A and B are shown apart, each in its own frame.
Chain A
Amino acid sequence: MFELIIYTALGILALSTFLYVIRVIKGPTVPDRVVALDSIGINLIAITGLLCILLNTSVFLDIILLFGILAFIGTVAFSKFLEKGEIIENDRRR
């Protein structure tokens, strides 16, 4: 019963990831696609946690922190690129 519930939750998360993929494909502007990709990264964290329960190991719990940090850095870098046109500014005169 417990494993069935975990599998059901994995199916629901896979369905929501598929809906985000639809938004990535047909999003009219670039910020839509970035929002959907960021949310796919956030969903991947939950999928990793559920797989840790299913496989009954605790070695993949580091991957949760890794995915969180990588999603945040990617979102910040892409939003800075959209706003300023470059990510790392070498111009210090401002």
Chain B
Amino acid sequence: MIVAAKILIAYLIIQGALLCLIAAVGTLRLPDVYTRMHASSKGATLGVASVLLGVFFYYWFINGVFSGKVLLGIVFIFLTVPVGSHLLGRAAYSVGVKLDKRSVQDDYKGHRNFVIKHKDDSYL
């Protein structure tokens, strides 16, 4: 029983670590801010949630402790990381970060007034 639980835990942890590595490689290789944000937010969220699920199963099956803090951490990460990424993407668009050259269309152009106050320091 302990062996089966350890196999499950090891699978979850290795899967989460590999998802984090895939998210990092995507952040390094993709051409654009928005595509990089797509890779890092989704991959890092699922990978870290998987690792924390492995930690939760370890404390539940092997130590016999039902730790609600780890479950609360999983729920908090699933709620907040996409919201933070959405806010950062909107801020990047309204600051004026360009899309990649290979982008086909931009439906959001013209619907939003740029709020750059000082043109000299627009953080680009």
Q: Which A residues fall within an 8 A CB radius of B? A: 2, 5-6, 8-10, 12-13, 15-17, 19-20, 22-23, 29-32, 34-36, 38-39, 42-43, 45-46, 49-50, 52-53, 58, 61-62, 64-65, 68-69, 71-72, 75-76, 78-80, 82-85
Which residues from chain B contact A71 at a C-beta distance below 8 Å? Answer: 80, 84
- Which residue from B13, B54, B59, B95 sits with its C-beta under 8 Å from A31? B95
Q: Are A46 and B69 within 8 A (Cβ)?
A: no
Q: Are B77 and A49 within 8 A (Cβ)?
A: no
- Which residue from A2, A16, A45, A58 sits with its C-beta under 8 Å from B73? A45
Which residues from chain A contact B97 at a C-beta distance below 8 Å? Answer: 29, 31
Q: A23–B87 Cα gap in the complex (Å)?
A: 20
Q: Are A29 and B13 within 8 A (Cβ)?
A: no
Q: A31–B37 Cα gap in the complex (Å)?
A: 9
Q: Are A45 and B48 within 8 A (Cβ)?
A: yes
Q: Are A9 and B40 within 8 A (Cβ)?
A: no
Most chain A beta-carbon contacts within 10 A, residue among B6, B13, B63: B13
Q: Are A9 and B55 within 8 A (Cβ)?
A: no
Which residues from chain A contact B58 at a C-beta distance below 8 Å? Answer: 53
Q: Are A85 and B95 within 8 A (Cβ)?
A: no
- Which residues from 73 to 97 on chain B have a C-beta closer than 8 Å to any C-beta of chain A? 73, 76-77, 80-81, 83-85, 87-92, 94-95, 97
Which residues from chain A contact B52 at a C-beta distance below 8 Å? Answer: 45-46, 49, 64
**Given A64-B69, A72-B80; A39-B44 close (CB under 8 Å):** yes
Q: Are A29 and B23 within 8 A (Cβ)?
A: no
Q: Are B95 and A82 within 8 A (Cβ)?
A: yes
Top 3 A-B residue pairs of the complex, sorted by shortest distance between their CB atoms: A16-B24, A31-B92, A75-B84
